[in-house]
Amino acid sequence: MPDKDTMAMTGTEDTPGGRASPDSQDLPPSVFHSIKFFVLCHSLLQLTQLMISGYLKSSISTVEKRFGLSSQTSGLLAAFNEVGNTALIVFVSYFGIRVHRPRLIGCGAILVALAGLLMTLPHFISEPYRYDGTSSGNMSQDFEASLCLPTTLVPAPASSSSNCSSHMEAKHLAVVGIMFMAQTLLGVGGVPIQPFGISYIDDFAHSNNSPLYLGILFAVTLMGPGLAFGLGGIMLRLYVDIDRMPEGGISLTSKDPRWVGAWWLGFLISAGAVALAAIPYFFFPREMPKEKQELHFRRRVLTVVSKDEDAPLGEPAKKQGLAQIAPDLTMIQFIKVFPRVLLRTLHHPIFLLVVLSQVCMSCAVAGMATFLSKFLERQFSITASYANMLIGCLSIPGAIMGIVLGGILVKCLHLSPVRCSVLCLLGALFCLLFNLPLFFMGCPTHQIAGITHQPGSQPGLELFPSCMEPCSCPSDDFNPVCDSSTRVEYLTPCHAGCTNQAAPDKSHVSYTNCSCVTGSGSVRAGSCDSACSHLVLPFMVLISLGGVMASVIHTPSFMLILRGVKKEDKALAVGIQFMLLRVLAWMPSPVIHGSAIDTTCVHWAQSCGRRAVCRYYDNDLLRKRFIGLQFFFKVGSLACFALILAILRQQDKEEGTKVTCPGLQQQLLVSQPEKKPEESRV
């Protein structure tokens, strides 16, 4: 914070010999008085925080299947992480100098850990997962329950709504409510971690070392989402009820569409890691001694700055803006002041366009991060574990490389604002080009008896084939089987007219004497394999290359904001930028993408008379709408950067014209110091 720097520097200069202060020198040598140790602790904390925040995205499809959620609801659940964060992030600049920052960071981290534990609670209060139509205590009857039995031999199957009660429905709502509450607390706990940590490092680090420390911090932090997807890939290989397995085991493999992995175990591990990372923060001091090299170096910098910047004005530069006056304001005054300063910042065209471009790109990134794993599962018929491994090993490292590459280009080429906008424009253009082939890389939906029709069939056919009419098939049962010869999938062996089961083998199960199947009359358990699953690797390579191009934009667009607003408004502009990104991108985008995915569903599961999880999607329509949304947002980002480049070039031409008019330039130099304090005052 600026005030902290000013206070620290004033205390340093007033102390004889250039030492920090008597109080600071009397402190016993401790690892908790080292800014390097703080950087290490904060890197680990932000790593684990992002790991627990991103873990839900790696298991989004599993949570949907376990609790019968639509993609729209799961997208809203993922977005609730930002609700608590956005509601409180505005007040960080108000409380930043009034609190014990390390302890508040520790308290926030403990809240994040508790939120992670709360996310696991639905698993423990829910009944064991039922992947068939039998009761939870009778799992061994899985295969027999799905066979075709004559209607005269068994009672009419009860619908799902008849087995429901008000207690079960209330329990379902309570489980979903707990997850929403946990996500909200996860956002609230994360509010003080990054802003207070960065300001603490900047206050007490050597000014030469501060960029290095922050670079290390961001580099380690960016590995968090990758670890989240890697952890999801490992945990989803384990069965969801690994802590309460039925006698005799289960008859599912991870390739079965009914498989639900141990999604809750990842939250448990991540919460433990966050809790451990939070412990050191309760031992850090409110203020620690500055690094010794900082004292002499900073005094020289102040002298140079005062000569270069303050001499033309004839007086020391006065720092202004909301961040500087916040310590002198009450809470009510701060709330009244903030909207006016917000409107003043939004009136800047470059700032507004850069934020809009970042909002568009963040919408694409948020939707991709939330539902890419599910998209890969459905489009290429791969397991959730494999999808997470691909994302963690390809997409996340690509994004990290892009951010580093963008920073290197800005630093080494000394890019001006115009050239930064050109780099952003090229990055957005190549990101869009890598997006185009994705429209044509995917697998069509295979034939599903009674749900999808073969080409040339009559659209008015009955819902299910007439060959299964003598069977008493439960309408809400789901145990898919595949006819390998025709690549036709049936919802259950009963819907295929199968009356017998082959020798039971947990990994290879087949059904025989199926009246709806031609030829051998047998089907195998599980969904039909995809005919184009080999395309998943080229698809992910293009996704990763597009992610690299989108990440290259990060640093130059950030520099456009820092160089495009008034010096006294930089801190506020960055805060407003992140707030708008949360409100306009990270909160609505998962819901928008989830709603678009839901519109492509062709068969919904029913639970207590309500629509639950989607069983089958129209893959072609799913690909067009999901990739189409990505394309739409990236076109918006490209258009904004094109406008930014046009405005900056126009401003350069106007500046060139002003230089040729000495009288006008002198008039501006004389009048500007008089107006600046009034315009900057709130």
pLDDT tens for residues 626-668? 999 999 999 999 999 999 999 988 888 877 776 665 554 444 4
CB of 481 closer than 8 Å to CB of 496: yes
Q: Across all residues in the chain, what is the average pLDDT?
A: 78
Mean pLDDT on 101-121: 94
Cα distances (angstroms) measured from residue 295 to each of 8, 9, 305: 9, 8, 16
Percentage of the chain beyond pLDDT 70 is: 75
Could you identify the residue written with the tokens 């490092």? 201
Q: What's residue 488's pLDDT?
A: 86
- The 3-state DSSP class for residue 217 equals helix
Q: What's residue 75's pLDDT?
A: 92
Phi, psi (deg, nearest 5) at residue 501: -120, 135
Q: Which residues contact 477 (CB under 8 A, 6 or more apart)?
A: 132, 133, 145, 146, 491, 492, 494
pLDDT tens digits, 530-556: 888 889 999 999 999 999 999 999 888
Q: What's residue 462's pLDDT?
A: 43
Q: What's residue 292's pLDDT?
A: 63
CA 161-245-492 angle, 5° bins: 45
Measured between alpha carbons, how far is 419 from 645 in angstroms, rounded to an integer? Answer: 9
Percentage of the chain beyond pLDDT 90 is: 34
Q: How confident is the model at residue 297 (pLDDT cuts 50, 70, 90)?
A: very low
Q: Which range has the top average pLDDT, 17-31, 307-321, 514-528, 581-595?
A: 581-595
CB of 366 closer than 8 Å to CB of 56: no
Phi, psi (deg, nearest 5) at residue 523: -135, 160
3-state helix, strand, coil in the chain (%, to 5): 65, 5, 30
Measured between alpha carbons, how far is 184 from 82 in angstroms, rounded to an integer? Answer: 7
Mean pLDDT on 172-186: 92
Beta-bridged to residue 376, according to DSSP, are none
Is it the case that residue 319 has pLDDT exceeding 60? no
Of 13-27, 564-578, 597-611, the poorest mean pLDDT is in 13-27
Q: What's residue 6's pLDDT?
A: 41
pLDDT tens digits, 87-107: 777 666 566 567 788 999 999
According to DSSP, residue 451 is labeled T
218 or 475: which leads in pLDDT: 218
State the DSSP string of 167-199: HHHHHHHHHHHHHHHHHHHHHHHTTTHHHHHHH
Phi, psi (deg, nearest 5) at residue 476: -105, 10
Mean pLDDT on 54-75: 91
Mean pLDDT on 341-358: 82
Q: How confident is the model at residue 453 (pLDDT cuts 50, 70, 90)?
A: low
Is it the case that residue 312 has pLDDT exceeding 80? no
CB of 35 closer than 8 Å to CB of 288: yes
Q: How confident is the model at residue 209 (pLDDT cuts 50, 70, 90)?
A: confident
Measured between alpha carbons, how far is 84 from 185 in angstroms, rounded to an integer? Answer: 7
Dig out the tokens for 310 from the structure: 């303050």
Measured between alpha carbons, how far is 66 from 25 in angstroms, rounded to an integer? Answer: 58
582 or 452: which leads in pLDDT: 582
Beta-bridged to residue 150, according to DSSP, are 471
- The 3-state DSSP class for residue 1 equals coil
pLDDT tens digits, 490-525: 888 888 888 888 766 666 778 888 888 877 778 888
Q: Which residues contact 581 (CB under 8 A, 6 or more apart)?
A: 355, 358, 359, 362
Mean pLDDT on 117-144: 71
